[in-house]
Amino acid sequence: MELIKLTQQDTKYDALIIPFGKAMELAVSIPEGIASSVDAATKAGLFKGESEEIYKLSMLWEDKIVNVVLVGLGEEGKADNRSVFIAFSKAFAACKDLKAKIVRVMLDNAKACAKDYEIAEKICEAAVLANYDFDCYKSEAKINTVEKIEFEASFDRFEEALKEAKICAESTTIARDLINQPPMFMTPAQLAEEAKTIGEKCNMEVLVFHKPDIEELAMNAFLAVGKGSVNTPKLIVMRYFGDRDNKEIIGLVGKGVMYDSGGYSLKPPSSLPTMHGDMSGAAAVIGAMKAIAQMSLKANVVGIIAACENRISGDAYLPGDILKSMAGKYIEMNNSDAEGRLTLADAITYAIREQKADKVIDIATLTGAVITALGNKTAGIISNDDELTKLAEKASRISCEKVWRLPADRELRHVLNSSIADIKNSAMGSSAGGGTILGGLFLQEFVEDKPWLHIDIAGTNWAQEDLPYCIKGGVGFGTSLLYNMIKLSSK
């Protein structure tokens, strides 16, 4: 699908998107026959310009059917990035459903909000994200007819926003592809190959460590999680150095559990079909690293993924096992379904000790408890650093991926105490609650006082139903968030 800025007026389109605020002013030039129909719809009160409101009408014009999609942005000055992003996502999804081939977007009718660079960039991203499909396993795939989206926009830096949007949206859709692929295909080895391919295309160094290398690094907690699978673990390291004059290195650590059965602490059958989505954190890191490299951000970033499968076999680790982590801490493993934090603990240690990361951001489908706390549209964040938290919150507003800070409440930490090891990997049996916080507190034990931020995406990584900006399946949540955190930190 092609995204362009319109450079000359013509009538070669079969869908027209027109955004309106509540003032209902048509400030752009459109053919009289279409304008009169739009005017009739608004005067009849069929469309009022409310935030995220969509109204569709079809008409015969110059011997062809033209579809018009009116988009509501609400009161001027009150629209935020996310509401505008969702509104346009609905409009682009409507054009997809209408089987339009060429879509024209009259962005100049929304100058009050779309002149803002960040909002304009997200509108352009929405065009790609709303048109995403994953149908490579359908014998009769539904054909997406959208070929080109033209933006009529006279804003400063719009071409720059369009370029960035194409890169960021493609990075998110790549993350979606990685998540949506079934576990029979997307193994740790395959994920490593995907990362290497992206690295080659983006001129980025990618290292892949195999089981003997990981054993030499003493990443025993990570290795224990993967013991039950015939698909051996892989440690994937993506290195981008775009600011050689600055010694600061940021480590992005993504949970890469390619399939999570829960191990001997088996998950319920209803959860198992989508457990290939447990590597959504890894997918977000890979997608973000691609965007960071393609946009040539002035930053030094290392993406780290401990990729493995949590399966059941005669070799699988058992609740009650004691694991010695790379950091030297002994972990009483009392719940094999609290496996992500074991892989992340070693990956964080590796980031700090081997890659010399000065700051660490980890992203993971860590706890179901985050859904209870925040629902399925907002990720939970936990941090030991206020500045890193502010950075995440600002990046969240830009990326339209919502986050909410939860406290790293040390009063809860005692429920992870073990009588036979340094720490337990789960507070199973405790009545303290705060499962998401406890997952973060466990990880905090391994950050060695470095500035650290944890993002729990267990509620936001997977869409249970079609959304305006994403079909059912992997969302790619966190790709844009991580990219924008690095972009903001590089300014």
| Rounded Cα–Cα distance for residues 55 and 38 (Å) | 10
**Structural domains in the chain?**
2-154 (3.40.220.10), 168-489 (3.40.630.10)
Task: Identify the H or E element spanning 127.
Answer: helix 117-129
Output the CA–CA distances (angstroms, integers) from residue 99 to 14, 63, 94, 460, in the order listed.
9, 18, 9, 29
The whole-number pLDDT of residue 8 equals: 78
- Tens digit of pLDDT for each residue in 219-237? 999 999 999 999 999 999 9
Burial string for 167-196 (b: 16+ CB within 10 Å, else e) reads bbbbbbbbbbbbbbbebeebbbbbbbebbb
The whole-number pLDDT of residue 302 equals: 98
pLDDT in tens, the chain (491 residues): 999 999 877 768 999 999 999 989 899 999 988 999 999 999 999 999 999 999 999 988 878 889 999 999 999 888 899 999 999 999 999 999 999 999 999 999 998 887 899 999 999 999 999 999 999 999 987 788 899 999 999 989 999 999 999 999 999 999 999 999 999 999 999 999 999 999 999 999 999 999 999 999 999 999 999 999 999 999 999 999 999 999 999 999 999 999 999 999 999 999 999 999 999 999 999 999 999 999 999 999 999 999 999 999 999 999 999 999 999 999 999 999 999 999 999 999 999 999 999 999 999 999 999 999 999 999 999 999 999 999 999 999 999 999 999 999 999 999 999 999 999 999 999 999 999 999 999 999 999 999 999 999 999 999 999 999 999 999 999 999 999 999 999 97
Strand 378-383 relative to strand 452-456, pairing: antiparallel
| Rounded Cα–Cα distance for residues 258 and 279 (Å) | 5
The whole-number pLDDT of residue 134 equals: 96
Task: Identify the H or E element spanning 61.
Answer: strand 54-61
Burial of 137 (0-12, 13-18, 19+ CB in 10 A): exposed
> Longest Cα pair distance anywhere in the chain, in angstroms?
80
Task: Identify the H or E element spanning 190.
Answer: helix 188-201
Output the CA–CA distances (angstroms, integers) from residue 30 to 152, 154, 229, 291, in the order listed.
11, 16, 61, 36
232-237-238 Cα angle (round to 5): 140
Query: DSSP E strands: which ranges in 190-233?
Result: 205-209
* Nearest residue to 256 via CA among 354, 189, 317: 189
Output the pTM of the full model: 0.97
Output the CA–CA distances (angstroms, integers) from residue 277 to 22, 105, 197, 463, 470, in the order listed.
40, 34, 21, 11, 15
DSSP label at residue 470: B
The whole-number pLDDT of residue 425 equals: 98
- Tens digit of pLDDT for each residue in 16-30? 999 999 989 899 999
* Nearest residue to 49 via CA among 23, 12, 83, 68: 23
Catalytic residue numbers? 267, 341
